[in-house]
Structure 1
Amino acid sequence: MKPGNEAELAELVAGAAGPLRIMGGGTRDVGRPVDGTALSTAGLTGATLYEPGALTLVVRAGTPLAEVETVLAGEGQRLAFEPMDHRALLGTTGAPTIGGAVAANVSGPRRVQAGACRDFLLGVRFVDGQGRVIKNGGRVMKNVTGYDVVKLMAGSWGTLGVLTELSFKVLAIPETEMTLVARGLSDADGVALLSTALGSPFDVTGAAHLGQGVVEGGARTQVRIEGLAASVAYRRDRLTALLPGVEAVEGADSAALWREVRDVDPFAGQPGSVWKVSVRPSDGPVLCARLGTLVTGAIYDWGGGLVWLRGPEAGDGGASRIRAEVATLGGHATLVRGPEALRRQVPVFPPETAGVATLTAGLQAKYDPRGVLNPGLMG
């Protein structure tokens, strides 16, 4: 089913006699497979309001991300949260949508400086599991009390409501981009370099380390700076003094390095499960050392706070071992890529604590009491 407007979508949800598999462009096949009727938002497209001077964009949820980025680029602006394109990693086709990016709270390397997708979301419209149209938030930044439904919808994976319209704060595209690259560092030394860069006053907007064997030429550690040309040149000189052995990469070559990290390109087309792990930056190398040969590659983003791991595909995909080790470090792990049988076998998302599970159940009872929206996808 592919409704052409919000009213049609609400009618379809209200009349649903069984589970619905909510999707945008169908490019992010993450989570436990949902056995239900496909309901796509791809028919809800187009910007309804764009005010470049106010840094505000209102757009329908099914609008392709590429279209959104083209509109913004025409005014010298962009989505600051740098959303990942999952297609190569997951082997999917189609066009990623802006609603899908919000539903998954997709946030790329710039999150370490600018914030996550949810931090730029000003307002939402969505259809809940009873077919009711709900609006929350607005078109300008403001402080509110009570439940922040806007941020709640980011990362809910379509389990609380079907997004129909989204309001964003956008930012200007910087004049210059540059990446400082070091090669051949161990994971521990690479993350230490990232921590030094992020602890400096030089406004780093990306900090990543690709471990040994992940890319050609050995391990690569990279730090991004952006802004006015004179400012970038000044910060390049200061960071080069602070981080001995780095070399500068500019322009399109710099951007290509960050697309590779953003989209986890080195793991695309390679066998095995792919895990997204959140730990303290200094604990990432410790985790990988403990896991040993269970993992065959590690990409550290967000200064080391996000670790992409390539694990086995057989058995439980490394779930029991990875989650046990991550738990001792106070982190959590999500299975981003795995065959359908594996995603039915093991929990894809981190197990919830009793308190969080109670809150989740309460929210689902409020917004989807019939349990028709992506049931079971998150566990």
Structure 2
Amino acid sequence: MSEVTKIYPSDRRALAEVSALLEQEGIRLDRHLDYISAIRDDECHLIATGSMFRNTLRCFAVDHRHQGEGLLNTIVSHLMEQQLLRGNLEVFLYTKPASARFFRDLGFYEIARVEGRLVFMENQPQGFVRCLQRFKKETADFLAARQEPHDEASPVAAIVMNANPFTLGHRYLIEQASHENALVHLFLVSEDASLFPFSVRKQLVQSGIQDLANVCLHESGPYIISNATFPSYFLPDDDTASIGHAELDLTLFGKIAAALGIRRRYVGEEPFSQVTNLYNTVMREKLPGLGIECRVVPRLAVNGHAVSASDVRQCLKDGDWETLQTLVPPATYAWLESDASREIRRRIAAARDVRHH
């Protein structure tokens, strides 16, 4: 009875059973799943389920008539074996607050929670602590390299961006923060889920900010806008899920801000993306309660139109190099013209839609 089987996306009947069991336990079937498992009883009724998306575990449920039989443990053990096969040593999970203690007993550690909605956990006892230590070390090394005294009382700000790719709009936002603060922490989303890979995005950002001496660049890691904390950013979802993900991501950001002394977060107005605009709305509501000022900067406009990375990608798709040159810094334009960008330009030309993030 405790054999775990995989549910395939083509098995609509089994998926309906999984969805029904989750609903029975007050959970909605997540659309962001790439592996679904289940346990059936001797009469082939589905009595337990658990799923994965990349390196996250989610959507657990055990039929209330079979709770206490160790089925959750069996499901989690199976999924962790699958994660090892994927090469993932850092594994995250979402669960309902009422279920968090079960996962603590299975070796997971709570990182953050959104009261009444979800708890975010990981299998590494010091994972988040190590991330904070990395940010602190990078900051100390950056300040030491500047060879300038840093006033601890002076304002410290943060920006989080994907820069897919780096545009004049991104540069404008960073300039505003740089001029108004003694130190700016720039967290570049390191998740490789964009048309421009992280290594390229980082290269273009570094080239575009090298004259701004008070901007410290960090790789965001798994705790800032990643598929673990905020999958809606990379995959379209409904507003309810996006709000929950945004609240979780900002709860974690509050802890990062406290560790680095960040008191302001800068964000550009978002006239294009519904998910990003929703995130900004939650940010404006939540950050002040965490002691962080949220400064919304109007988008840089060129020829009366707000600059966006979506437009840059569309220009590449359309071959409109004249317009593209007005939207990006010289270093970005030079790289896009070079042979190094050939494969990315080919993928953009072949893509049906290049405007999603």
Whether TM-score is above 0.5 comes out as: no
Q: Which has the larger radius of gyration?
A: 2
Alignment TM-score, normalising by the size of structure 1: 0.24
Please give the TM-score of this superposition, normalised by the length of structure 2. Answer: 0.25
